[in-house]
Structure 1
């Protein structure tokens, strides 16, 4: 559907179009938010706030790219504001790197071969983690466990799980900066 028509229908408070937009983007936006927050409930809350804002401010919204890009940018900004509100800063720009790596359209600029290099590099980084961090990371991202399930399985607190995942993400992101720089030199 044409973005102008969708936007016009949203501005006219068309609940059916709004519901379709919500159903189409909600799950992906929650996954995207969770890459910033590592907290499923907070991620869902952020995405719901974005959709409330979309509904309440539809008449004044100007979308210059696509609705998808607009929604993802809103989620990213709300996540960053949320992290600031709980006193988490991103001095190393890890969050910006992560958002680039998690949005498929941003990875379109690199070849499948380069994506394979990135993936293999991530696996090598994970192998250098301390044993407990490796286990937490694998349970979360390979086994798809929830924080509470990881904590129960390993006999640690949920906060320890979150801390281990945050440290793992920072280590991966720091290492990937070098790989991405090398890939951009070769392209």
Structure 2
């Protein structure tokens, strides 16, 4: 591993093309923190920045056999971060538009029996997914979202740290979002 520390990025990339895990690890250690700070600066969110940089390195490993880099490796990585940040922002905008459209529809009061049935079915789906969360995480999540307890109240009620409460809620949302999507979660909080 020590020999790899002295290699230039270009040499490590050549080794990476042959799935050299040690070369990959050296590149990861060289650039992870720098890319994280860059992503965090653009996103203003530590967790999203971590996820984004992790995804970037997974892509790098998966495409290592046929990487074509026209510039320096660092410029390539910065470009990937910028592209992924813009992609994430675009996805947020689309999701926000859908939520605004849904809010507008709700405020206009255009309910039909079909809408009520769909809401009930959606509520059942959401409840089922929540019930599959680990017990402690589920309890924290339900106190937060259903009982509208603050993080401090949950911390006191369950005799756990404030940080644990935040982490449990974050993890619950991280599990539920891919399963339910943003619109389902919005409806869940609106219906209950």
TM-score, scaled relative to structure 1: 0.45
Question: Over alpha carbons, which structure has the higher Rg?
Answer: 2
TM-score, scaled relative to structure 2: 0.44
- Does 1 or 2 have the higher relative contact order (CA < 8 Å, sep 6+)? 1
